Homo-oligomer: A and B are copies of this chain.
């Protein structure tokens, strides 16, 4: 086992000052499911996060007589409130909006999606199965803290599919712009890679690396891997499917598809990056989702921490006192103030940057410069043409256009209507461009571009609604992509948390990990 230098909690505070962590790189790589391994695990990389503390690490009742002001009732704030309360701390959790959950939000008929310059009302039919996760949407099976809370709270889960071999890959510049069935490209790549390697082995090119016995065993394994014939050649595979598979009812099961030479489509990395996406640790099967929408988790948390929660409390200033903090906020038009022994700040950095604070210059600098991705999702209600016409049950199609992804619902298969994402873009020109469009224009863009993958979008998708995180009050961004440093340390009695301050930026599990780290810091402070 190769060790990235793993720092204990005690070492952590000294180490973090001079780290040049690679979290943004890790995050970018994880999103693409590629490249993280070798790059991130170089021996010289210091892992600023170290071992994750767990509730079992904390002495019971350690917080008795101590107060904590927790700012922001997203997953970080709520999990911190829950665990701190269990340790005896008296918590007050201030939330600007009228519901807890933060970016964990699900829209249904009649819900209003507010942006700074626009307001959209969700026009889906009134049916609880028709929902739009306008925030996190999937849970990797190894995000065990979040999953543990789901088990504890009784939030039922179901499978979320990332890798559907019936979904499409689409590049307007290749194959004449025709969308490709994922299974065919996958089978062709595996088969041709396996056959090329078998050929190279046969020519003795790898005799340095492989013994004769290994060569024979590897060629045998490549046969299974690529579906090669007895001569280790690739002549096509049933794995690629059959002609007519793009439309239900047109199957020619007895006919095989010719493999297409890699040179005809291995172009600019688009295809392989998408195919490799589901190999990434955080995107591998099994992925999960709560039955009925991601906000079921937020609601369950809210029930747990209800006594500590104050809604509609808009923070205005974060002050330091000797031995404590003073939080200034407005509620129902009135200025209010909260004093506590500790402050736990979970607001997104771009929101925090707009407040008056007594934070150190270093902390304020990191907050002001913290970058967030410009994620956009656009959802439509439609009859489930993807199931009926194309046998697509859940999963994701990818396109090289700005809309980037089409998501099919992973639940209630066979129902007449469903909610389909006509776009999920983040970062770069795609995310920025869609964010800049007014909501009605986003819908037009999505219908136009998604129609290149499924013409039915033009005729069957309606009631569109979008979310551009950067334009949402109290969010101001999708998720953090800068590498945290100063904010991993407390600033006097203020501790910081939120997904952006975790190893798992952009994930609810990261919010909880960051909350545990902050709780751990507060526990250490009162224990010392």
Contacts and interface: CB of A to CB of B under 8 A. Distances in A.
A66 B35 CA distance: 66
A194 B192 CA distance: 12
A72 interface: no
21 contacts: A2-B256, A35-B223, A37-B238, A37-B239, A38-B229, A38-B233, A50-B254, A141-B166, A141-B391, A141-B392, A142-B166, A155-B414, A158-B411, A159-B394, A189-B221, A193-B222, A193-B225, A197-B197, A227-B276, A239-B280, A286-B395
A236 B2 contact: yes
A393 B138 CA distance: 14
Contact of A183 (B158, B197, B213, B281): B281
Chain A binding surface, main DSSP class? loop
A196 B190 contact: no
Interface stretch (A261-269, A350-358, A397-405): A261-269
Contacts of A52: 251, 253
Contacts of A155: 414
A243 B41 CA distance: 14
Contact of A205 (B203, B391, B410): B203
A469 interface: no
A196 to B, nearest CB: 6
Interface string A437-471: 00000000000000000000000000000000000
B414 A1 contact: no
A3 interface: yes
Given A141-B166, A255-B4, A276-B224, A161 B206 contact: no
A515 B183 CA distance: 28
A241 interface: yes
A157 B394 CA distance: 11
Interface string A285-307: 11010000000000000000000
A208 to B, nearest CB: 9
A200 B219 CA distance: 14
B393 A286 contact: yes
Contacts of A32: 224
A443 to B, nearest CB: 27
Given A37-B237, A144-B251, A238-B281, A266 B217 contact: yes
B190 A279 contact: yes
A190 to B, nearest CB: 7
A362 interface: no
A266 to B, nearest CB: 5
Nearest to A156: B414
Nearest to A155: B414
A475 B80 CA distance: 57
A512 interface: no
Interface of A: 1-4, 6, 29-30, 32-41, 47, 49-52, 54, 141-142, 144, 147-148, 150-151, 154-159, 161, 163-166, 183, 186-187, 189-191, 193-194, 196-197, 199-201, 203, 205-206, 209-211, 213-214, 217-218, 220-225, 227-230, 233-241, 243, 245, 248-249, 251-258, 262-263, 266-267, 269, 271-273, 275-276, 279-281, 284-286, 288, 387-388, 391-395, 410-415, 503
A235 B41 contact: yes
**Copies of this chain held together in the complex:** 2
B254 A414 contact: no
A298 B210 CA distance: 53
B249 A159 contact: no
A224 to B, nearest CB: 4
B189 A196 contact: no
Contact of A391 (B142, B234, B245, B258): B142
A110 B154 CA distance: 27
A154 B412 CA distance: 11
Given A29-B238, A227-B279, 16 more contacts: A2-B256, A3-B255, A4-B256, A30-B238, A32-B224, A34-B227, A35-B223, A36-B237, A37-B237, A38-B237, A41-B238, A158-B413, A183-B281, A197-B197, A205-B206, A254-B503
Q: A-B pairs with the 5 shortest C-beta distances?
A: A37-B237, A38-B229, A205-B205, A200-B200, A47-B254
B37 A159 contact: no
